[in-house]
Amino acid sequence: RKSVKEKARLRLREFDVGDKFSHLPLARASVLLPLLVREGRLHLLLTVRAMQLRRSPGEVCFPGGKREEMDKDEIDTALREAKEEVGLQPEKVEVICRLVPGIDKMNHLVTPVVGFIEDTFQATPNPDEVSDVFVVPLEYFIKPLNYKALPYKTSSGYSSWVHCFIYVDHERKTSFKIWGLTAHFAVFLALIIFGKRPTFEVDYDLDNLISSAENNFMNLYASVCERKKSNL
């Protein structure tokens, strides 16, 4: 019987896009999707952005940020940012793959980098950037207790729906709102690993998850390019 980790690894490697989208002429950013196994179940580590940040203060996100000159690739960016934000040492991350990117509000090409971390990892949040760190069972992103879809329009005029989850951490008596691009990446990760239909609507062809995710992304990218042209 393959371990939970081994099964996830095999599934994820089939979805690795490598640097397939790295040539696109957008400013770049990366996020790390840190997976860990707790009590035999996969969990995802998330952070809450510090309130004093100019952009999206207090919002839930993955460790990550903009690419810097010294970064070799998207993986480097994600690992560097995770170290700066939560004290996660790069050598403590088993990087598995890069998934289909997203485009954020600032029109950055955001690449999700998936990696396994130890269950024993103790985050040391950098208070300038992160106000909290928590974990959510990955399965919550296909079988949530509290979910709604919010209508959303990108700056490029592309309208769609975004996932919005409310996750209650009973031990800490805190609830977290996970939505937007962060929720989008978490849902896609859960769909890949579990291969099950979620309890809510998703805009993927679940029988052709890779190609439909890439098509969705290219449509979004095309709409961003159109908007840029019309703004010139």
pLDDT at 131: 96
Looking at residue 1, its pLDDT comes to 61
Per-residue pLDDT at 117 exceeds 90: yes
DSSP track, 113-165: EEEE--TT------TTTEEEEEEEEGGGGTS-SSEEEEEEE-TTS-EEEEEEE
Residue closest to 132 by CA, chosen among 86, 89, 177: 86
Tell me what pLDDT residue 158 has.
65
pLDDT score recorded for residue 155 = 63
Residue type, 33: L
Mean pLDDT for 187-194 is 98
CA gap 115, 130 in Å, rounded: 20
| Per-residue model confidence (pLDDT) at position 228 | 73
> Per residue in 121-177, pLDDT tens?
999 999 999 999 999 999 999 999 999 999 887 666 667 789 999 999 998 999 999
Fold (topology level) of 4-231: Nucleoside Triphosphate Pyrophosphohydrolase (3.90.79)
Rounded average pLDDT over 222-229: 82
pLDDT higher than threshold 90 for residue 96:
yes
pLDDT band at residue 44 under the 50/70/90 scheme: very high
β partners of residue 175: 168
Are the C-beta atoms of 192 and 13 separated by less than 8 Å?
no
Query: What is the pTM for the complete model shown?
Result: 0.95
Assess contact for 209 and 191: CB atoms under 8 A. Answer: yes
Task: To the nearest 10°, report the CA torsion of 176, 180, 184, 190.
Answer: 10
Is 90 exceeded by the pLDDT of residue 232?
no
If you ran DSSP here, which 8-state letter would residue 206 be given? G
Question: Higher pLDDT residue, 78 or 1?
Answer: 78
Residue 1: burial class (beta carbons within 10 Å; 0-12, 13-18, 19+): exposed
